[in-house]
Structure 1
Amino acid sequence: SELMKIALVMALAAYYDWLPVKLKSRPLWVLLPVVLIMLPVYLVLTQPDLGTAILLVTVGGLIMFLAGVHWAYFAVVVTAGVGLVTAVLKSRGTPWQLLEDYQYRRIDTFIDPSSDPLGAGYHITQSKIALGSGGWTGRGFMQGTQSQLNFLPEKHTDFIFTTLAEELGFLGAASLLALYALIILFCIISALQQRDRFSSLLTLGLASNFFLYFAVNMSMVMGLAPVVGVPLPLVSYGGSAMLVLMIGFGLVQSAHVHRPR
């Protein structure tokens, strides 16, 4: 599923590079990339891996938008999304339940973590405590109480931003955000300098993928989004996610180096 994040961006970039501009908003030519997006999304959902599926749909939609697909299609998608969310919530406890039980518990925890502070809400409760205790400058490296005393689960993977914020404080967390912003800015500038649609869409698509990684992760640990298991790029411990991220950066660098001068 991690490699699909790169493959989908490359496939959509190649598709819109091949497709004549005048056809990009024709229904048939809009349907093809939608199918291209939904096939891997379906396979990922069967694992099940809701976090990756959400990232794939979002990145795919962003590339279609950047390619110039008419906004009316996105309005239809948003409307359908609202209907899908309603169906997901209404299906709970029925024979045709659309999500797994643990995924519904994540939604419950997102809405009210205090409803189960020692169970499903434990992660986010401890995460908020750690974030708040860091203050402006943090407790000091390796001095965080929530992380070092093992109150905070998954402190080296999905919740590593919480550990960083507790030990280095708001200033440390803001510094990490600034570094992420510089990477995104480089990608945008590089994409604007490209002369072919493939390189431009590839760079912007990979930048969007990178942005969604840290945006979803940070929102998750701050309680602004349900816990979906998305790592923090370049910081979280992990093999496949880091490998895919490095492949993406390599593609961006290659497109930048070979851009017309």
Structure 2
Amino acid sequence: MLEKFSLKGKVALVTGGGRGLGKGIALGLAGAGADVVVAARSADELAETAKELKDLGTDSASYQLDMLNVTEIRNMVDWVAEKYGTLDILVNGAGINVRKPTVEMTEADWDRVLGVNLKGVFFASQAAAKVMLQKGKGRIINVASLSAIMGIPTIVPYCSSKGGLVQMTKGMAVEWAPKINVNAIGPGYFRTAMTEELFQREGWEQNALRRIPQGKTGSPSDLAGAAVYLASEASDYVTGQVIYVDGGWLAC
């Protein structure tokens, strides 16, 4: 049974893989045997993550790009497919957020958040799908959020992008079946650079923990199991789904 979870011989591309949740997923995929390319904006973060991946014994690499640039996104996928001869797994982990009252949000704020979180994911998936459809098989994993189904103040563009991402996941899953499985992971509250502002607010973490049955917030490595499952043969009959990794938040 364990062989169904093996990613040995598979090539994965993880956007947003330089830090945080994307890095946690990338390390998990590499731990299961995949060769992983991490892509992000920060060269320093990419270099550090790529070294950790290689230390796991994988043929891994990094790719620097701006997820707001569609040409760079397409070039990234082409580069991976050319370097490795294939692309088996795409993890759309890149994401940004802007926290401010909705009446103060600017057009630039909206465009940045939707540009990375939705437009960037669409075109990365489109480019990857062309490779996967040709070979007859592939996996696409999107990183969604609790905010896809919850109304959260001061991050309305982010909520909009993640809600749209869930519907994008379903639409692509239906269109590209049975060749490509498209699913999403919905993280709960994880302490990362993106959420550090929340954790610094007096009393915020204590209030959040009261809602989480497991009594703790997540760490990036907590997403690795769900990612490996969705990337592997173990999930062959699973598509169009969202797996929420939230410590039980949505069960309350």
TM-score with structure 1 setting the length: 0.30
Larger gyration radius, structure 1 or structure 2: 1
TM-score with structure 2 setting the length: 0.30
Answer 1 or 2: which has greater strand percent. Answer: 2
Answer 1 or 2: which has greater helix percent. Answer: 1
